[in-house]
Amino acid sequence: MVEVPVGEPRMSRIELCFGSSKRGRLFRNLLVLFLLLLSSSISITGYWHVSADSTRNVGSNSPYLSTEISSGFDFSLSNSDGITVLSGGSGSNTITVTLLSGTPQTVTLSADIGTTGIAFAVIVSFSPRSGNPKFTSTCMITTSSFALPGSYPVTVIGTGGGLTRTTSFTLTINSQDVKGRTRIALDALPKPGYVNRPVTISGVLYGSWRSINDGIVVGRPIRITVNWDFSATLVTGPDGQFSVTTDCPSTGGTHSITATFYEDQDLTGSSATVSYEVIAKIPTTVTISYVGNREFGGYLRRTDTGSTLPHKPVKLTVTYLLGGTWRTDTFDLQTRYDGSWNLEFLFYWSSATIAFEGDATYDSSSATITR
C-alpha cells in the first residue's frame, strides 16, 4: 500500500475506486492528468491518499484515490453609468467590485483614459481606492477649464490576487459656454482739475476667461460719461487702452467720471467710476523778503506744483517814513520769466505787502512782512 499526503482537507471528500486491470490503470492515469491540468485554475487544498492491493481486487477492498478540490479567488467589476461634466467641472459614478469565488482578497482600483490628448486635463480618483469584495467605490472625474469638449472612453482597472478585471464607460465633456469677465481700470489727470482747463480721461479694459487672467481686451467700445455734460464712446486699442481729453467745467466741485463696457456675445459687462475734484482757480503762493537792506523781492508760484508763474502782475504796498511823515504807497510790478519780482527801496519802512490779485485761471494770494 502507498500513501501520498498533500495537505489537510477542508472540503468534502470524493472517493474514486479503480480496478487493477489495464483498463482501470489507464482510467486512473487519465483522471490524475485531468486533475493536474485543472490545478492551474483550481486550488487543490486537500490531500491525495492512494492505496493499492493487487491480491484483493474485489468490492470495497479495491484500490481507491481520495482528493479534495476548492475554487480559487475571482472577482468582477461593473459601473453604474457614464459620466457627463461641463468643461472645468466634475462628475462621478459608482464602481462595484463583486466577489465571484474564493476567499476575498484586496482589490485596488485605477483608471486609464484612452485618449492621451485629454489625459493631461482630467483627474480620476476613487473613494475608497481599494477594499475586499464585495464593495463599492465612488469614481470622481475632475476636468480642467481647458479640457476639450467631446466623448472619451474610460477604463477602470481592478487588480488583486494576481488577477486583473476591467469595466469601461464613457466620459462626456460639454462646453461651459460661459462668458469671460471684464474689469476696467480708470483714471483722470491732472489731479485736481481746474475750471475750463483740459483733463484727460483714460483707462484699460481687462478680460478674464478660461486660463487667461486680466488679459487686455482689444477693439471693444467703452462709453465715457461725466456729470458736467460730457460723454464719448471710445474703442480700446491694441494695448486695451482708451483715452479722451476734454475741458473741466466752468465751476469748481467734486464730479464723477464713469467708464462702461456693455455685455456682448463673448464678455460680461463692467463699469468703473472715479471722483474728480475741479478747483475753480489754481491756488497760488507769493513770497516777500527785504534783501541787503536795499530791496524787496520774492516769487509767485502755483501752490499745487510749486512751479513759478512768469509775467503776472503783482502789487507791492509799503508803509514808510518820508520827510518825517509816515505814508503808504502801492507800486505796480510784474514777475519776470522765472516768476521772481523785486523793487529797490531805500527808505525806512515799517511794513510791506505783496499781492497777486489773480485772474481767470489762478487764485489770488498775498504776503506781508514787518520790522
Please say which residue of 238, 261, 279 terminates a domain. 279
Residues 232 and 290 both lie in one domain: no
4, part of any domain? no
Do 248 and 300 lie in one domain? The reply is no
- The answer to the question of residue 8 being in a domain is no
- Residue 61: pLDDT band (50, 70, 90) is very low
Lowest mean pLDDT among 43-47, 143-147, 190-194, 265-269: 43-47
Same domain? 233 vs 165: no
Contact 233, 227 (CB under 8 A): no
**One domain, residues 119 and 161:** yes
Q: Domain end: 174, 190, 208, which one?
A: 174
Distance of CA 269 to the CA centre of its chain: 20
Residue 78 located in a structural domain = yes
Q: Are 138 and 125 in contact (CB under 8 A)?
A: no
Q: What is the CATH number of the domain that holds 198?
A: 2.60.40.2550
Q: What is the pLDDT of residues 218-272, one digit of tens each?
A: 999 999 999 999 999 999 999 999 999 999 998 889 999 999 999 998 899 999 9
- Structural domain containing residue 218: 181-279
Kindly state whether residues 347 and 321 are assigned to the same domain. Answer: yes
Indicate whether 53 pLDDT > 70.
no
Beta carbons of 335 and 308 less than 8 angstroms apart: yes
Asked whether the beta carbons of 143 and 90 are under 8 A apart, the reply is yes
CA trace torsion 218, 223, 225, 230 (10° rounding) = 100
Q: What local confidence, expressed as pLDDT, does residue 106 receive?
A: 96
Would 5 be classed as within a structural domain? Answer: no
Q: Is residue 1 part of a domain?
A: no
Residue 9 falls within a domain, yes or no?
no
Domain tally for the chain?
4
Does residue 303 share a domain with residue 212?
Answer: no
Q: CA-CA distance, 97 to 166, in Å (whole number)? A: 10
* CATH number of the domain that residue 129 is part of: 2.60.40.10
| Percentage of the residues of the chain whose pLDDT score is greater than 90 | 62
pTM for this predicted structure: 0.44
Closest residue by Cα to residue 170 from 79, 86, 109:
79
Residue appearing with cell numbers 481647458: 146
80 and 169 part of one domain: yes
CB 220 within 8 A of CB 236: yes
Is 30 a residue whose pLDDT tops 50?
yes
- In this structure, of 50-64, 95-109, 133-147, 282-296, the range with the lowest mean pLDDT score is 50-64
